[in-house]
Amino acid sequence: MAFEVSSELEKKIDEVITHYPVSKRSAVLPLLHLIQHEFRYIQDEAVNWVAAKLGLEPIQVLEVVTFYPGFRQNAPGKYHIRVCRTLSCAMAGSYELMDALCAATKIDRSHADHHHPISVSADGKYSIEFAECLASCGFGPVCMVEDDFHEKVDVSKVGELLAKYPV
């Protein structure tokens, strides 16, 4: 995807920068969020653009992108799924949920690792990763599809869950 910041997006960006009257650098995370929301992931051009916008060196932006699990450097699927991996959800069946979702979306997770936590289906419709505790531990297993939160997911009914997301 070509990286071109629309005037509408730049307006939002300029507004957000005003939230940080003491230091523009504080706006790195919010700018990256706005850009990732629009472009689905953070490309190298975006890193340079944010750095120029905030008067920083590109490395000061890149080190943020690479640290935080919430920022992606590769395109996810049309619907990105995050399954909570941590204890309470694991006790409630989150590993089984991960397997069921991978089977239903035909995602091969065997190559997932620290550097490539996200696995994408061959058709690009879905991507998936494990997330750590999503703060709904009493109602596991829990997953997020894009910004939607799903609790007490029935592992035998992941088809119904995915049906809410037309591809």
Residue 154 interaction partner, one of ligand FES, another protein, none, beta carbon < 5-8 Å per kind: none
As beta bridge partners, residue 83 has 130, 143
The sign of the dihedral angle between the CA atoms of 1, 47, 109, 38 is negative
Binding residue (CB under 6 A) for ligand FES from 136, 144, 155, 165 = 136
DSSP string of 47-84, one letter each residue: HHHHHHHHT--HHHHHHHHHH-TT--SS---SEEEEEE
Q: Which range touches ligand FES (CB under 6 A), out of 42-50, 55-63, 79-87, 159-167?
A: 79-87
User: Per CB under 8 A, does 140 bind another protein?
Assistant: yes
- What does the binding site for another protein look like in residue numbers (CB under 8 A)? 19-23, 25-30, 32-33, 54, 60, 63-64, 67-71, 82, 85-88, 90-91, 114, 131-140, 144, 147, 149
